Structures are given as structure tokens and as C-alpha cells.
Structure 1
Amino acid sequence: MAFSIDSRFSFAADQPTDVLLQFEAAAIPEQVLSEVATDLSEADHVGRVAAQDGIGERIWIRAEGTFEVVHRARVELRRLITPLESLPQLDPHLLPGEAVEYLLDSRYCPADRFQSFVGEEFGSLRGGAAALAMRDWIAHHFTYTPGSSGPNTTALDSFVERHGVCRDYAHVLVTFARAAGIPARYVSCYAPRVTPQDFHAVAELFLADPSVPGGGAWHLLDATGMADPHEIVKIGVGRDAADVSFLTSFGPTRFLAKTVSVIAL
């Protein structure tokens, strides 16, 4: 399945400011990119660095004044999808090093605070069955409400208020999974059926791989129900939204505009 992506945003800085960007479709084996073009305004410095877990790249810029970003790409997905229902989870002491940090609390995902709730609500389930039950619980109890949360909203805030956007849904699912002993990471992505269209966020859970003794693999899961794993184009992954924001400013900036278009071909 192939997709056409066109994303654009702009911001302004009144003085030279360092800004970290992550907005490009990631060039990884499950995503074949072609017709890629990224256009950036003039800047004092532009430099690329590897992103978390080797998925995608971040771009450092140092700029002053109005700065514009345009990214276009054609992406063909070659992702193998495994049904989650029967996938077991790995006990913590059997996890590989790459997965361990995704069991721990992070800025927006205080998993320790949810252990009692998750044990009571989902304690009879494990692995993929538990993950699907968590997704369904969030879908049933939350209302998708654009503008209802902000950059400081945590999974605990969202759990109390029972509304949010994709970022909040992903944080809650990641938090539930970690509280159940399942490594979970936050995924920034593009997807065609997101409404309103924007940068999207889903969760990715590390579950046992029955075909590899003692092995495991990451599996995408969207609590909003708007993105199917067959249609998700990854930008990057991290512990939570703080690791994969499309724009992180290390000084005062003013956000000006943003448009995102994702079309299935």
C-alpha cells in the first residue's frame, strides 16, 4: 500500500534560536520512500542527527525570523502485521535491553500510578489480549475532543478528564501497557484517515514473537481507531510525546501555521 504525504509548518523566532525538528517519514525497512523532498528556509545552521532507536532522523536548526518547513514523500508500506489476540508477553527479566526503558515511567506516562487500576481492570488478561482490552476500554470511555488538552497534559490528566486527542489516547494506552508489564513506546506518524488531518500518534507494544524462542517484536496499536497498522507511516518513536515532537524549541518561538495531507494511492 502506498501513500502520498505533504506536510508544511512555519514558526518565527525574534532572536537566533536552536530548534529540533522531527517531521519526515522515516526511511526504515518496512517503509520504502521515493519522490522525497524536504525544503527548509535559510538558517544559520542545519544538521541531521539520528533519532530514537534508529527510526528516522531529527534536524537541528539555528534560525532567526520566520522559518518554513515543507516535506513531501511517496511511501510504500511493506509491514508484516501479526494479529495481537494470541501473542504472549515476555516477563520483565526476559526483555532485551532495547525494550527495558519502555517499561519505565516517563514525563507524560506515570505508569506506576496506574498499577492498581490496570491490575483490577485487566489483570485476568496478558499480552496481546490485554493490549486489545486496554485499547477498547479507552475507546469506550474517552471522547476525542480537539483542543481539549495541551502540551502539559499527562496520561493521568487525560484519565481523569476522559477526553483528549491522539496524543492523549496514545499516552494513556502506553501507560496502561507499562503498568501491566508490557513495554510500550509512543509513535509519531502519518495516516490517511485521521480527522482532522494532522500529525498523528499511536502506541507500539513489545510482545513475544512465537516464531523466535525468547524473541519479541513491536506491534502498532491506535486507541483512537483512526489508523490501521497497514496505513501508519512512522516518523519516529520515543518514551512519550516529548521525544518525538515535530518541533521542540530551545528558546522563545511563535508557531504560525501547519497543514498535513496524507492520501492513499
Structure 2
Amino acid sequence: MLLDITARLDYTLNAPSDILLQLEAAPLPDQRLIDPQIWTSPLDHFRRIPAEENIGDRVWVRGEGRFTCDYKSRVEVTREALDLAKLEQNPVHELPGDTIKYLMPSRFCPSDEFQSFVAAEFGTVSGGKRIVAIRDWIAEHFSYVPGSSNAQTSASDSFIQRQGICRDYAHVMITLARAGAIPARFASVYAPDVDPPDFHAVAEIYLGGAWHLVDATLMAKADEMAMIGVGRDAADVAFMTTFGMANFQDQSVEVRRVDDA
């Protein structure tokens, strides 16, 4: 699958400010970047650093006044869309060390509060079948409502309200998977068919000795996502984190299948 990706950020910085960006698709064994480009308005500083799990880069920038950042790339995605229901759950005592932190509660994913619910609702199935059941339960019981949540909304809040955006769906998916002793982490991706078009958030679940992308909104398929980065939850992989005051001017994301372009 070939995807053409463009993204633009446009903000005003009222004073000299530091910004941590993560909006470039990551080079990975199952996705190849073709002519990636990023350019910004004039800056005082621009420096790349490795992102979480060495998946992709973050970029430190520092500037003042009008700040714009444009990114574009063609991405060849060779990832297979597997049947999740056929994947086995790894026994907790056999999990690799680098997956353990993704079993634990995090800022937006208080998984320890949902163990009883997961046992009662999904206790008859395990492994990939449990993940499919959780994904489908969220898709059935939640409403996708732009503007219904904010940067402080946790999975607990979304679970009560039964609505949110992709970030919230991902947080609930991650929380319930962890509550069922399955490692899960937050993944920022680009994908076609996301409505409204934007940076997209999904879960990545550890099953059968590997990580697998799962979208509880059902808008994106694993073999049509270009991954940007991963983390414990949204706090680890925001596309833009500002240390200073930034005023929104404009922002756009477009992802097209090359055959549709």
C-alpha cells in the first residue's frame, strides 16, 4: 500500500518557546519512506532526538513569532493485516522485559481500576479473541464525537461518557487490554479514511511475540497505517508539545492512497 501524506502546523509563539515535534512517519521494516521532507519557518534551533522505543524521531525546535511546519512523504506500507483472533496471549511470566511497562497503569490509562470489569465482560475469551472482543465492544458502545474531550480526558472519563475521539478510543482500548494482562501501548499514525482528517491514534497490542496495531474506531486498517511513534499513552507521543504559549492558527492533515490520488 502506497500512501501520500501531507501535514501542516501553523501557530503563533508569543515569546521565545521550545517545541517538541513528532509528526514524521517512522522508517520501519514494514514501512518504507519515499522522499520524506520537512521544513519550517525560520528557527533559532532544530535538533533531532530518538523517540520512544527508537521508533522514529522527535525534533526539538525553538522560535518566536509565527511558527509553521510542513511535512510530506510517500510511505510504502508492507505490513500484513492479520486475523487477531488467531493470535495467542503470551503468559505474563514469559513476557520480554521491554513489554512490562506496557502492562502498568499510566497517566491516561488507569488499567488497575478495570480488572474486575474485564474479567466479568471478557473473561470467557483470551489472547487475540479477547482483544477483538474489547475492540468491538468499544466500537459498539462509544460514539465518535469531535470536541467531546480534551487533553486531560482519561480512559476513565471516556468510559463513563461513552464518547470521544480517536485518542480516547485508543486510551480505553489500551486500558482494557492491560487490565486483562496483555501489554498495550499508544500509537500515533497516519491513515486514509479518517474522518475528520487528522493525526490518528490507535492501540498497539502485544500478542504472539509481536506488536499489532488495533483501531477501536474501526476507521483504519493495520495494513493501511503509517506509524509515527509509540508510547505509554498520548502524553508520550503528542505531535506537538509546547514549552511556552502557542496560539493556534491553522492545522491540516491529508492522507491519500496513491491509487486514489
TM-score normalised by the chain length of structure 2: 0.97
How far off its partner does 1:80 sit? 3.0
Please name the residue that 1:5 is paired with: 5
Matched, 1:231 2:231: no
Distance 1:156 1:54 in 2: 29
Which 10-residue stretch deviates more, 188-197 or 29-38? Answer: 29-38
Among 241, 247, 259, which residue is 1:254 paired with?
247
The sequence identity of aligned pairs, in percent, is 51
Distance 2:32 2:175 in 1: 31
Please name the residue that 1:212 is paired with: none
1:90-239 equivalent positions in 2, closer than 5 A: 90-208=90-208, 216-239=209-232
Distance 2:246 2:4 in 1: 30
Distance 1:96 1:251 in 2: 38
How far off its partner does 1:96 sit? 0.4
Whether contact under 8 Å (2:80, 2:222) holds in the other structure is no
Q: Supply the AA of the counterpart residue of 1:237.
A: V
Q: Supply the AA of the counterpart residue of 2:211.
A: W
Deviations 1:60-90, CA, capped at 9 Å, x for gaps: 0111111101001000011133311121111
1:6-155 equivalent positions in 2, closer than 5 A: 6-155=6-155
Deviations 1:138-183, CA, capped at 9 Å, x for gaps: 0110000011100000000000000000000000000000000000
Q: Supply the AA of the counterpart residue of 2:245.
A: P
Distance 1:254 1:92 in 2: 45
Whether contact under 8 Å (2:81, 2:221) holds in the other structure is no
Distance 2:84 2:140 in 1: 19
Runs (4+) off by over 3 Å: none
How far off its partner does 1:250 sit? 1.4
Distance 2:248 2:242 in 1: 10
Distance 1:106 1:66 in 2: 34
TM-score normalised by the chain length of structure 1: 0.96
Instruction: State the SS of the aligned residue for 2:84.
Output: coil
Distance 1:110 1:190 in 2: 26
Which 10-residue stretch deviates more, 155-164 or 23-32? Answer: 23-32
Deviations 1:205-250, CA, capped at 9 Å, x for gaps: 0012xxxxxxx00011100000011101101001011011011011
Q: Supply the AA of the counterpart residue of 2:253.
A: V
Instruction: State the SS of the aligned residue for 1:118.
Output: helix
Q: Which runs of 5+ in 1 are unaligned?
A: 209-215
Instruction: State the SS of the aligned residue for 1:85.
Output: helix
Distance 2:68 2:9 in 1: 6
Which 10-residue stretch deviates more, 104-113 or 73-82? Answer: 73-82
Distance 2:88 2:69 in 1: 42
Q: Supply the AA of the counterpart residue of 2:223.
A: H
Distance 2:109 2:165 in 1: 15
How far off its partner does 1:11 sit? 1.4
Question: In angstroms, what is the RMSD of aligned CA positions?
Answer: 0.8
Q: Supply the AA of the counterpart residue of 2:46.
A: V
Matched, 1:263 2:256: yes
